[in-house]
Amino acid sequence: MPASEETGSGPVVHDHRRIDPVTGQVRGKHAASKPAGTRSAGRPGRGSPGPDAAGPAEDQPDDKHEERDAAEAARQTEESSEEAPEMVTGQVIKDGEQAADIEAQLAERTADLQRLQAEYANYRKRVDRDRAAVRDQAAAATLTGLLPVLDAIDQAREHGELSGGFKSVADSLQAALGRLGLVAYGEKGDPFDPKIHEALMHSYSSDVTEDTCVEILQSGYKVGDRILRPARVAVAEPATGPDGSSNEPERPASEEGN
């Protein structure tokens, strides 16, 4: 608000308003400190300008300050507009480098995760395989220890001694071992296979065309593809070969006389 003070010739009003109420423009830095409508203490002299003439002279510094401020503002605006593209370009380059760095880190972490997942999958497969092998070995060791019991049961069955409560126990035992995967093999007339048969007796026969198990002396047992004990058999070989020649070895003359 304007401030007033009393002088000898009348009140002097100082206008400190930043905005000119007439033009609406920002006044200069020194405009607000000048009094509005200032008059000299005495009457104006003959050669001195009157109150009306002093107004334009006092307004000239304000105009100069306003022009200088406007030129300074225009210069700053122009410099800001020139620096803006450079700042934007630099920011884009920086953002692009950061994005590339983030993508590289993401690819590296993804590769690490995939490698770790593959290693874990292989580890689980190896653990499961080892666990199954240990389980099979334990089952095979237990079943192998029970084979003499099964042989005794077979002998009792052949002699007709398996009856009553003993028969029920034997049947239950064999059923339980069968659920564990134990399988008995070896039948009369099976082709002889040295991988699963053990020949305890050998003979020649014209009734067979290949090496044949003519008698099962002791049953064989297996679990899956694993042989716990080969079947012990008596093997008969054909008496004549494909060309009709005899396969039986010739006896010495001393044995023929006896």
Q: How far apart are CA 213 and CA 200, in angstroms?
A: 11
Question: For residue 159, what is the DSSP state?
Answer: T
φ/ψ of residue 27, rounded to 5: -80, 165
pLDDT of residue 238: 87
pLDDT of residue 252: 56
pLDDT of residue 97: 80
Q: How many angstroms from the chain centroid is the CA of residue 28?
A: 70
pLDDT of residue 208: 86
Confidence tier at 86 by pLDDT (50, 70, 90)? low
pLDDT of residue 117: 93
Q: Are 70 and 36 in contact (CB under 8 A)?
A: no
Range scoring the smallest mean pLDDT among 1-10, 110-119, 164-173: 1-10
Beta bridge partners of 3: 14
Is residue 13's pLDDT more than 90? no
φ/ψ of residue 237, rounded to 5: -105, 145
Confidence tier at 234 by pLDDT (50, 70, 90)? very high
Q: How far apart are CA 10 and CA 236, in angstroms?
A: 155
Is residue 55's pLDDT more than 50? no
Cite the DSSP H helix spans in 159-187: 164-179
Q: What is the pTM of this model?
A: 0.50
Q: pLDDT by residue (tens digit) across 242-253?
A: 666 666 666 555
Task: Give the count of alpha carbons within 13 A of 223, CB side only.
Answer: 19
